[in-house]
Structure 1
């Protein structure tokens, strides 16, 4: 009875690994075709031809592209992301704290946005086509129409500058208290919440409304159950699979899409680290950050697919 589920889950995992391998090729190729010379950007315009030639030899830039790719991929598989060209620091060590900072911000943004979005979706379904439903849908449409950088600047202007309730710069450091850390990330977390809330709410509402068209919902209504009981006992449990899928996709966006928000609030996460080194044309750092973001996104998509498979009653009970 479990063979269809096991087979589908195994297929999703294998496809995810192959997709990540393909993405690694694209990331490496994309960084190689960037205009300019890496050695020249490191040594500056005043570097002598001999110095440039020596640095290219040291960095392995004279080797064929496929040799450099497999060398880089082999290092990634063994946990060696290389060293930053601009500072000489180990990339894995530098990314460690920043990666956890990004996860900390994404976690609290998700903890705030997911319950709000699901609750708002349930309320919108309960009062569908009424003033409450239209108000919630209008707010969701307005928030999804605004880019995250615009929302971030609005929060900085009104909350940090005008009202002076929270700091405009989200500075965190080792040894910082938990409450102070939460206060520092409040504004970027709110900005991310506004971005993902609308999509999750609208998809929750659509998933439950789709289930509400089923015959067993009509049967439950004929039994005399209240609208809240119908939604809670019958509609919502059967809409879990698409809702979980949407939640996982938005979690992936929270981790991968924090780049702009981190730059706006000068938050020391992976996004800020990536942007800093893009401007310096530090190719190994860009490759490492891009691959980590891709791995997180693909893994969360695999989790979404597996959850949808496991929660499918036709697969759990094939007979």
Structure 2
């Protein structure tokens, strides 16, 4: 087995172990929440016999470790349990909400990733110019503002005052593609403004760091144009940190949509998670939390693997 294969297997194994630990911590955290779930659902007027029968129906009369193993076994079989609020299978609730969240994340990623790389390249190419300072100032402003504030500002100016886009991003299975793009533009723009700033600044820093290398200086002495130095020499050698930050921000686009979806009443996993927490629908909370953790861990593992494959020193250990 080659060194590269060992590194990839090690990263994947570590990701699976991390996901297992996260699932256990999430289950323990829910167990530690105050209050009686059966009492919360049935109300204060429920009798002790009714509460006992309902606890047995939910499996709450079993030890916590047995309930965790039973839940984990169901997850491995694709069974996330039954919603306590609606009585439907959790997988049925996740399906359409997952499609909406992935649509919003893809919408934002398709615009944000190339835009951030291009802005980072231009900022490095025109370093210390008015363009560089303006882009950095805009990026710092976007980073410093929380998502909900950006969302409400966009609603105020682009929806309420200008009347260009709808305030609420309501879409369903019957909504056409162009109509869905139009209705979800404001939440997508909110995500874009936040993640572009992070990716652009990291791209700029990585390119500038590579530009200080001796082989870049040699290319300059040979008279190679500056744009060609950056695109053909600096960018390929700066891919590892750029890929890492892009992967982390793509994970944020899926995991960090909770606040944005609530602000715009977007019917995705984030809104489902908030509703489930409000109604103490723990099977749904566990399923959505596990999905978010799986996406975040998977994209981080992929970023590590791509960084290893793009860096000969990591592949060969020299």
What TM-score comes out, normalization by structure 1 length? 0.98
Question: Distance between the aligned counterparts of 1:278 and 1:315, measured in 2?
Answer: 43
Aligned counterparts of 2:39 and 2:281: Cα–Cα separation in 1? 12
Alpha carbons 1:41, 1:280 under 8 Å: kept = no
- Alpha-carbon distance in structure 1 between the residues aligned to 2:73 and 2:293: 17
- For each residue in 1:215-241, what CA deviation from the matched residue of structure 2 results, as whole angstroms up to 9, or x when unmatched? 000011011012111111111111111
Q: Which residue of 2 aligns with 1:292?
A: 291
* Alignment partner, residue 226 of structure 1: 225
Give the whole-Å Cα distance in 2 for the aligned partners of 1:190 and 1:314: 38
Shift of residue 313, structure 1, vs aligned partner: 2.0
The residue number in structure 1 matching 2:143 is 144
Tell me if the contact between 2:199 and 2:249 (Cα under 8 Å) persists in the aligned partners.
yes
Residue in 1 that maps onto 2:57: 58
Distance in 1 of aligned mates of 2:228 and 2:29: 53
Could you list the per-position Cα deviations for residues 199-219 of structure 1 after superposition, in whole angstroms to 9, with x for gaps in the alignment?
A: 101100111011011000001
Name the counterpart of 2:26.
Answer: 27
Check the 8 A contact 1:4/1:315 in 2, yes or no: no
Q: Give 5+ residue unaligned stretches, structure 1.
A: none
The answer to whether 1:183 aligns with 2:182 is: yes
Deviations 1:229-276 (A, max 9, x none): 111111111111111111001001110000000011001100000000
Q: Tell me, yes or no, if structure 1 residue 12 matches structure 2 residue 24.
A: no
What is the root-mean-square deviation in Å for CA atoms of aligned residues? 1.1
Name the CA distance, whole Å, in 1 between partners of 2:276 and 2:198: 31
Q: Deviations over 1:139-175 (max 9, x none)?
A: 0000000000000000111101100101110011112
CA distance in 1 between counterparts of 2:45 and 2:291 reads: 35
Task: Give the structure 1 partner of residue 307 of structure 2.
Answer: 308
Q: Secondary structure at the match of 1:276?
A: helix
Deviation by residue 1:77-113 (Cα, 9 ceiling, x = unmatched): 0000000011100001110111111011000101111
1:278 aligns with 2:277: yes
Question: For the Cα contact (< 8 Å) 1:122–1:204, is it kept in 2?
Answer: yes
After superposition, residues 1-319 of structure 1 pair within 5 angstroms as 3-316=2-315
CA distance, structure 2, for counterparts of residue 224 and residue 89 of structure 1: 68
Q: Distance in 1 between matches of 2:314 and 2:57?
A: 55
